[in-house]
Amino acid sequence: MDADRTPRPAPRRALRRKPSLRVATVIVCVVAGFMMATSALASRGNDLRPDRTTELASLVQAEADRVDQLGRTASGLRAEVDALSARGQGAGLPDLGAAAERADSVAVTGPAVTVVLTDAPALVQPAGVDPDLLVVHQQDIQAVVNALWAAGAEAMTIQGQRVSSRTGIKCVGNTVVLHGVPYAPPYRITAIGDVPALERGLRESDYLRLYRTYVDAYRLGYEVSRQARVEMPAYAGPAEFEFARVPR
């Protein structure tokens, strides 16, 4: 007979743990127990991670109460100022309304002059002429503004925004920034006041005389018009200077 060739499973080897593994296990258990005991002693029965949510909620509530209190104080002070203002005007002191108009903090209405400045057309490219001379710059707008103030302007807007002592005009690229808002030409400057005096101030400005020669030579835009009645909004920008220096 043929021998039985059915394969038989190989005998399993006995698993033996090395002594080093048993020692390592014992050390890990000892260290873990030591750490747990140390934490228990340090906490003395208290939670080592206090609940900060409660602390933050208490802080928020305290600040909200403080803001509410300051709001009530501010309202009381405003009422006191209004009462003192009314009492002072009744006693013959200067009208604060006129001061508010000078501070540009109220809307005004009156006859006005408007100046519109525009760049030269793109097709105008005279040989040998710097392209910067063919566009409106910050100093051009400022020259118009200065001429109008010097001529007695009572209120003014640029691009519809009320101009005040805190207004700055800056060139950024090919735009002009006013109160943080960039504008592209045409630039519209409107001033309320004695219209003939305002127009005379524009004609007599030395800077604008030179500017008008470029208007004639290179077709820069410069238009002056009258308005019988213009409404100007109150100044809506910041009431304080960010940077200032006391003159010496």
Of 23-32, 74-83, 147-156, 196-205, the one with minimum mean pLDDT is: 23-32
Whether the per-residue pLDDT at 240 is higher than 90: the answer is no
Sorting pLDDT into bands at 50, 70 and 90, what band is 75? confident
Which pLDDT band, with edges at 50, 70 and 90, does 34 fall under?
A: low
Answer with the residue of higher pLDDT: 48 or 124: 124
Q: What is the pLDDT of residue 191?
A: 96
Domain edges within the chain: 54-98, 107-232
Residue 2's pLDDT is what?
A: 46
Q: pLDDT at position 105, please?
A: 67
| pLDDT of res. 1 | 45
CB 85 within 8 A of CB 96: yes
Question: pLDDT tens across 118-175, in order?
Answer: 998 888 777 877 888 888 988 999 999 999 999 999 999 999 889 876 677 777 766 7
Please name the amino acid found at residue 132: D
The values of phi and psi at residue 81, to 5°, are -65, -45
Question: Residue 183 corresponds to which tokens in the numbers above?
Answer: 């504008």
**Stretch among 15-19, 54-58, 85-89 having the lowest mean pLDDT:** 15-19
Find out whether 131 and 119 touch, Cβ atoms under 8 Å: no
Average pLDDT across the chain, whole number: 76
pLDDT computed for residue 221 by the predictor: 92
Nearest to 188 by CA among 230, 228, 152, 219: 230
Q: Which CATH class is domain 107-232?
A: alpha beta
- Residues of 8-31 as b/e, b for ≥16 C-beta within 10 angstroms? eeeeeeeeeeeeeeeeeeeeeeee
pTM recorded for the entire structure: 0.56
